[in-house]
């Protein structure tokens, strides 16, 4: 049996792996002053760098590293949906990213929580010329997984 210490709360939790991570271009505008907790975590998926200067994540069986951001105001999802070009009433292929719930893990591979994540379809990644990030880490400002 796998050990678990999953926490449930009233906070809105979002797993971020790209421009919304602390230190990246969109963190200050969308997250600073709104985040009540930040934790380094990973999820299962595949991470791609896109030529436009931001990443995309798909479902997969590799580790994607990022941060679990916790917000007390659920309206943050409306703001992030606009940034990620996601509208729940559109069909999956019509959105740039699609928001769904994903399991989040701590460094010890313990299941930690569930969080929203913005995923791209593999077809869209290929359309946009994405290339795999085998270490599961993306940075637009030169931060490495070891130094962040």
The answer, yes or no, to whether residue 64 has pLDDT greater than 50, is yes
Which of 126, 129, 113, 100 lies closest to 4, judged by CA? 113
The DSSP H or E segment spanning 139 is none
For the residues of 32-68, what is the DSSP string, one character each? TTTEEEEEEEEEEEEEEE-TTS-EEEEEEEEEEEEEE
- Which segments within the chain are labelled E, that is strand? 12-16, 35-49, 55-71, 98-105, 111-119, 131-132
The answer, yes or no, to whether residue 77 has pLDDT greater than 90, is yes
In this structure, the number of other CB atoms found within 10 A of the CB of residue 111 comes to: 14
Mean pLDDT across 90-110: 93
Mean pLDDT across 2-29: 82
The answer, yes or no, to whether residue 1 has pLDDT greater than 90, is no
The answer, yes or no, to whether residue 22 has pLDDT greater than 90, is yes
Token pair belonging to 68: 């679990």
pTM, entire model: 0.88
The DSSP H or E segment spanning 133 is none
The answer, yes or no, to whether residue 85 has pLDDT greater than 50, is yes
Report the percent of the chain where pLDDT is more than 70. Answer: 89
In tens, the pLDDT along 119-136 reads 999 999 999 999 999 999
Predicted local confidence at residue 107, as pLDDT: 81
């Amino acid at each position: 049996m796998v050990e678990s210490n999953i926490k449930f709360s009233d906070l809105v939790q979002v797993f971020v792996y790209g421009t919304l991570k602390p230190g990246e271009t969109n963190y200050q505008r969308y997250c600073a002053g709104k985040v009540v907790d930040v934790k380094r975590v990973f999820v299962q998926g595949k991470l791609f760098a896109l030529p436009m200067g931001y990443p995309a994540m798909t479902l997969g069986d590799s580790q994607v590293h990022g941060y679990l951001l916790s917000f007390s105001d659920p309206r943050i999802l409306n703001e992030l949906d606009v940034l990620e070009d996601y509208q729940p009433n559109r069909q999956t292929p019509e959105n740039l990213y699609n928001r769904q719930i994903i399991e989040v893990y701590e460094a010890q591979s313990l299941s930690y929580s569930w969080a929203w994540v913005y995923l791209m379809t593999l077809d869209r990644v290929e359309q946009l010329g994405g290339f795999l990030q085998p270490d599961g880490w993306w940075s637009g400002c030169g931060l490495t997984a070891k130094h962040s």
